[in-house]
Structure 1
Amino acid sequence: MTTQQLTPGPDAPGHDAPVHAAPDGSVPGPSTAGSATAGSNAAGSAGAGSTALDPSSAPLSPTDRTTPTRGRNRQVDERDRLMGLLSDALIVHLGVVAGAHPVVLPTAFGVDPAGPDDGGTLYLHGSVAAGWLAPALERDVCVTVTELDGLVLARTGFHHSMNYRSAVVIGRPRRVTDHEERRWALDLIVDHMVPGRAATLRPATRKELAATVVIALPLAEASMKQRAGGATLEPGDLELDGWAGVVPVSRTASAPVTEDYVADPVPELVLRRVAELSGDGER
């Protein structure tokens, strides 16, 4: 989904909605898709019938299209760190050539490290009416994800920088048409926002499913970079005056705001997610 859309439907407090099983018949657990705790979460352990390598043991293998050309000392080779980045991020950006011009779109997503595609599967949510959909399925696309960890303030403007984790994924997406895989992917996307949330919702209606498209992108062709630490010093910078250092940057979540028409208390899983996003809980 784009950041303005959510298809699986509104809350139905107290409704015991069925839990959608993965295409192989297993049931998703309470963890977020793409969790990096051990490279095997609800999605990764259940999978979608894939024989993909365990993401914790398969290194990233960037191609000519994804290998960094600058700052190679920041290149990350461990696939589990890519999965950790995808676990932490809440949106990715999809780049596609739509007609005569390129577009880059923020999109909600879910990750299945053991999905049916080479290297695991990145599921992206969209609308069947989206103008980018048809072009995206006809050629390779690029997906990027970035988490900002700090502002690096040096004694010279040239060496001002940022501490970050970022990744690039390039590949040919496919439209998910299998009914069970679509439901599985939509649950992963919802659970990526709040782990366990999908099982508490009413099932999506046929109309909602008909208006929704899920595309799957292989995670085989991916690269990741990370910067951490302080500012770079040139000879003579130590003798200069002026402050230098790092401003750590982190995401936080505020207290949930309940809709006026809802009488139920805030669910524990939502409160737990608020704590996780604020760095007060374990993922």
Structure 2
Amino acid sequence: MSDAYPISDATRIKRHPERGSYDRDVVHAILDEALLCHLACSVGQHVIAMPTTFARDGETLYVHGAIANRSLEALVGGAPFSITVTLLDGLVLARSAFHHSMNYRSVVLTGKARIVDDREEKITAMILLVDRFGRDRSRQTRAPYDWELDATKVIAVEIEHASAKTRSGGPIDDPDDMNLPYWAGVVPLQLVAAAPVPDPEAREPHPVPDVPVQLLPRNREE
């Protein structure tokens, strides 16, 4: 398998191509850090962008929803779709309004979607999805009943084309604006988990679960 995804019209980076990458490792790293994706597809006469959790297993992305979910039904029915993920890393404040920006890491991907009918694959997908909420969280919860599995539609998206786009660094002001009397720089942003709040209905105390590693402050990861 190539180290890079093939380029398609849907994933080709036209604006600031120097910020783009089709490298699989770059795409995978962003997907694995993000906790939420937006699935956009054509549903009847409308285009709907649905925010949802997801999990990656190699070149397969799993998403799930209710049996009657219109977007997932359209997806497996062959409707055009794309999935996007964005990690916001900072607000970039420039000396001019025009050059304000954001630092980010993002992915756009397309592929083939199929409904997961195989029971074992469906259970594996649900384990992967639950484990996005915390390390080994699936081992710390009740497994789904059969009726719960039957009420859940799981879709596997086989990634065929994907691109990543990132921006980092400070503002890029025009030379004539460098002496303007306005503050310029970056306001870093980070998603960090606060202290877990136990369910007040809990009948007895239990160990606090580990939050996903990507929610830990970066200086604690190093």
Give TM class, smaller chain: over 0.9
Report the 3-state secondary structure (helix = DSSP H, G, I; strand = E; otherwise coil) of the residue aligned with 2:178. Answer: helix
Change in CA separation of 1:219 and 1:282 when aligned onto 2, cut-off 3 Å: farther
Unaligned 5+ segments in structure 1 are: 1-52, 114-119
Contact preservation (8 Å) 2:112, 2:159: no
Q: Which runs of structure 2 are paired with 1:45-124 in the superposition (5 Å)?
A: 53=1, 58-113=3-58, 120-124=59-63
The one-letter code sitting in structure 1 at the alignment partner of 2:53 is A
1:221-270 Cα distance to aligned partner (Å, 9 max, x none): 11110000010121211122111000000011111111123213333xx2
Once residues 117 and 42 of structure 2 are traced to their aligned partners in structure 1, the CA distance between those partners, rounded to angstroms, is 23
Contact preservation (8 Å) 1:154, 1:231: yes
Question: Match for residue 273 of structure 1?
Answer: 211
Q: Does 1:245 align with 2:185?
A: yes
Change in CA separation of 1:216 and 1:82 when aligned onto 2, cut-off 3 Å: same
1:69-91 Cα distance to aligned partner (Å, 9 max, x none): 11101002321121111111111
Once residues 215 and 96 of structure 1 are traced to their aligned partners in structure 2, the CA distance between those partners, rounded to angstroms, is 14
Which of 84, 100, 115 is 1:175 aligned to? 115
Larger strand proportion of the pair: 2
Which of 59, 74, 79 is 1:135 aligned to? 74
1:131-159 Cα distance to aligned partner (Å, 9 max, x none): 22221112231100000000000000110
Contact preservation (8 Å) 2:105, 2:167: yes
Q: Does 1:200 align with 2:140?
A: yes
Change in CA separation of 1:122 and 1:160 when aligned onto 2, cut-off 3 Å: same
Q: Does 1:186 align with 2:131?
A: no
Moved segments of 4+, more than 6 Å: none
Contact preservation (8 Å) 2:135, 2:212: no
Unaligned 5+ segments in structure 2 are: none
RMSD: 1.7
Contact preservation (8 Å) 1:254, 1:274: no
Q: How many residues align?
A: 219
Normalising by structure 1, report the TM-score: 0.73
Q: What percent of counterpart residues are identical? A: 39
The one-letter code sitting in structure 2 at the alignment partner of 1:235 is P
Change in CA separation of 1:250 and 1:195 when aligned onto 2, cut-off 3 Å: same
The one-letter code sitting in structure 2 at the alignment partner of 1:82 is V
Once residues 58 and 129 of structure 1 are traced to their aligned partners in structure 2, the CA distance between those partners, rounded to angstroms, is 37
Once residues 230 and 224 of structure 1 are traced to their aligned partners in structure 2, the CA distance between those partners, rounded to angstroms, is 20
